[in-house]
Structure 1
Amino acid sequence: MSFKVAIRSFKTLSYVGSYKKIRERNLKFYCAAVIGAGYMAYQQHKNSSADMKEILQIKNYMAEPVTPISQLEKNPNDMKTQMELLIMRIQAEFCRALEKEEDEEAKFLVDRWTRKEGGGGITCVLQDGRVFEKAGVNISVVSGTLPPAAVQQMKTRGKNFDSQELPFFAAGVSAVIHPRNPMVPTIHFNYRYFEVTDKNGVQWWFGGGTDLTPYYLNEEDATHFHLTLKHACDAHDKTYYGRFKKWCDDYFSIPHRGERRGVGGIFFDDIDSPDQTSAFNFVTSCAEAVIPSYIPIVQKHKDDAYGYHERQWQLLRRGRYVEFNLIYDRGTKFGLFTPEARYESILMSLPLNAKWEYMHTPKPNSAEEKLMKVLKEPRDWLHLEQARQVA
């Protein structure tokens, strides 16, 4: 591992390890720590596009990169190369951070797969652990030709292509973590890069986001989560967090239930400005914010007490998670329409166990009802609107 990469990884994991001390301090120290973490993440990655030596250190990844090493070495400045190296590193760092919270014998199963039309991926799944009931962290690097159904999916988002079948390249990392303890929330994140070629040339864009789905509301955790993401955004554009927080609340909605999937986070798509390098650096900062936003919450609650009632509520909420992913999620639909789709990896996001009850309603003034109020009316966790009104 190169010196820069070693320092970057050490600083990220050091922040995670020190959070238990931070959360015992007053708000001023807490905010200063998170602000420092956000600034540090930005400084670490301003030069990330130039540091391509990671490709020589295959042992640091969960498996060998999808693209041949020789090809990556020949094209170190190509965005396709940079994105593949980023997602390989993020996958490995997150998997190892999760394994550290598990019992020693609980390890990720690593499944490296290839696709006839072009590319492949690495699926990492940890199942039936003491802490994580199911954890999936996937990367994919695929290319080929988009069929009409997939093109239509993209057109519904406002993309205007002049061809019916389009050559494409896509690379992304996607993770969904379903914990065993109902006091630990589920997290989802996805960061991706697309290139599509039509008769007008190459169109490129980035997309992604990170969001939290608790089963029991802990306001301190929600604030910590959003504050960490805000500082990752602020290092690039002060308007990003507010815009992408609202986008997340709107996107992760279950219309037929009249509720959101969770307490939100950030979500964005079709990012192609101000330039390719700046957009890549922003995505890098967001991806690196996942560990410090989530692992401290896992450490705080993984050994909390719970009983049968809490477990049943967790399973009911997971049913809502399934409903969103199978009915509304654009990523799931795009994956299923892609030729030679790998369904096991696409459906990795589904929990190991879920439950549906007919006409279930939480009891008044219960902890479950408290969560539902937030899911029906998204909250400004950082009180930004209030601060703007005061100013």
Structure 2
Amino acid sequence: MPSPMDLAALSGAQGAAERHQAFEKAFPVRSLADVLDQPVDIADPIFEISKPMHGRRISTRELGLLTFVRNLNRAVFLSIDPQAQVNVKSWTKSGTDGAPQGGGVMTVMRGPVLEKAAVNMSVVWGPSYPSIEKEYSGQPYLAAGVSLICHPYNPNAPIAHMNIRVLKVGAGDDYLFWMGGGGDLTPMVRFQEDTDSFHASFRAACEAHPLGDYPKFKQWCDEYFFIPHRGETRGVGGIFFDYLKVSGETDLGLLLNTAQVFAHQYAEILQRRVTTPFTDELKEQHLYWRGRYAEFNLVHDRGTRFGLMSGGNIEAIFASLPPVVKW
């Protein structure tokens, strides 16, 4: 993670080229091998929360990848809004027999630039998988992932969402290992430059990995983030993939590619838009427009339903909702 000096240089950079150079210095792209080989911080609350499953259903290397992505996005958001107040809270869950079933760490930031940003990480497990599709339901499972959402104050700056996750279902050593993830952009005021750069970066990230399939993942995203009762898509899309079989550690590179590309692209977009002037009228429209986002997350999002069905932390599940919204 960058030093305070790096963050100061980033927030103080004025021109687009200067900001980009400062950002690249503060957040260099890391290789999968580098991230997997880094030592896990045993003082991190998520380490203790997930400890019963270490070496059984989640390796310390997998845990290290997820914590790297979480810490990267925490730092990126703080670089955009250094004045944001940060609230970090841990949570745990137990089964009916009192046995631990994991938990998570949620980070919520509120500031003058990023009105609300949340970066959540969880590692949960249980004896009965609450599959929404009913397939594999009732089998032991472990689900681990990082999800984030950002609601900027400025109506010209888009909402963005990113998620990466791993899922293991089955008894003993005979379990299925899947991964999923993606990132998407939801602007009220659409700038073609932002849409084009966002999609071009995800295309490059997919092309750099054998499991990447940008055309398929883009279509999947458009179909997933569709609001049926409104007859419209949520934003300008991005990529979305789910239930991709993991055959080895190198497959996890797709998750790292997705997370790093998202962090870099969204930071550049925010740097372009958070200072754009806007009127009171546009801000009022912004509050009503945010309602579309809330509607999708509450009614249609599978992640929300999975969290509720698996006994997840309510505060963490609903952290994705806008801070202020009107209908």
- State TM-score, norm by structure 1: 0.72
Q: Greater CA deviation, 63-72 or 210-219?
A: 63-72
- The CA deviation at 1:173 is 0.4
Inter-CA distance 250–23: structure 2 relative to 1 (3 Å threshold): farther
CA distance in 2: counterparts of 1:239 and 1:102, whole angstroms: 32
- Assess, with a 3 A threshold, how the Cα gap between structure 1 residues 240 and 23 changes in structure 2: closer, same or farther: farther
Q: Which residue of 2 aligns with 1:217?
A: 190
Q: Is 2:50–2:103's contact at 8 Å kept on the other side of the alignment?
A: no
Q: 1:289 aligns with which of 261, 281, 285?
A: 261
Residue 348 of structure 1, aligned match among 309, 319, 326: 319
Say if 1:66 and 1:121, in contact at 8 Å, map to a contact too: no
Residues in 2 aligned to 1:352 and 1:68: alpha-carbon distance in whole angstroms = 28
Look up the equivalent residue of 1:144 and give its one-letter code.
Answer: G
How far apart are residue 52 of structure 1 and its match? 3.8
Aligned CA distance change for structure 1 residues 69 and 354 (closer, same or farther; 3 Å) = closer
Q: What's the CA shift for 1:107?
A: 2.8
For residue 65 of structure 2, the aligned residue among 86, 96, 100 is: 86
1:14–1:173 distance in 2 versus 1, CA, 3 Å: farther
Q: Distance in 2 between matches of 1:222 and 1:331?
A: 25
Which structure has the larger Rg? 1
CA distance in 1, matches of 2:174, 2:141: 12
1:139 aligns with 2:121: yes
- The 3 A distance-change label for structure 1 pair 190 and 46 is closer
SS in 1 for 2:46: coil
> 1:19–1:173: structure 2 CA closer, same or farther, 3 Å change rule?
farther
Residue-by-residue CA offset, 1:49-106 (whole Å, 9 max, x unaligned): 75042436x4xxxx4334469779x74x9754333222212111211211122243x2
| Counterpart AA for 1:115 | K
Q: For 2:299 and 2:80, how far apart are their aligned partners in 1?
A: 32
SS of the residue 1:82 aligns to = helix
Match of 2:242 among 269, 281, 285: 269
- Asked whether 1:280 is paired with 2:252, we answer yes
Change (3 A) 1:296 1:271: same
Q: Which amino acid aligns with 1:276?
A: G
Q: Distance in 1 between matches of 2:92 and 2:206?
A: 34
Q: Tell me, yes or no, if structure 1 residue 317 matches structure 2 residue 289.
A: yes
Equivalent pair of 1:318/1:351 in contact (CA under 8 Å): yes
Counterparts of 1:210-249 in structure 2, within 5 Å, are: 210-237=183-210, 240-249=213-222
**In the alignment, residue 136 of structure 1 is paired with which amino acid?**
A
Q: CA RMSD in A?
A: 3.3
State how 1:87-126 maps to structure 2 within 5 Å.
87-104=66-83, 106-117=84-95, 118-126=101-109
- Label 1:218 to 1:320 Cα distance change in 2 as closer, same or farther (>3 A): same
Q: Which has the higher helix share?
A: 1
Alignment partner of 2:45 out of 64, 68, 76:
64
| 1:327 Cα offset (Å) | 1.0
Does structure 1 residue 55 correspond to structure 2 residue 41? yes
SS of 1:65 mapped into structure 2: helix
Change (3 A) 1:343 1:238: closer
**Of 42, 45, 51, the match for 2:31:** 45
Offset of residue 200 of structure 1: 9.4
How far residue 145 of structure 1 moved from its aligned partner, in angstroms, is 2.1
Gaps of 5+ in 1: 25-29, 357-391
**Structure 2 CA distance for partners of 1:114 and 1:71, relative to 1, 3 Å:** closer
Tell me the secondary structure at the aligned position of residue 122 of structure 1: strand
Matched residue count? 317
Percentage of matched positions with identical amino acids: 33
User: TM (normalized to structure 2)?
Assistant: 0.85
Q: Which amino acid aligns with 1:45?
A: S
One-letter amino acid of the counterpart of residue 224, structure 1: S
Secondary structure of the structure 2 residue equivalent to 1:341: coil
Using the alignment, how far apart are the partners of 1:20 and 1:229 within structure 2? 25
**Matches of residues 172-187 of structure 1 in structure 2 within 5 Å?**
172-187=145-160
Partner of 1:135: helix, strand, or coil?
strand
The offset of 1:170, in angstroms, is 0.8
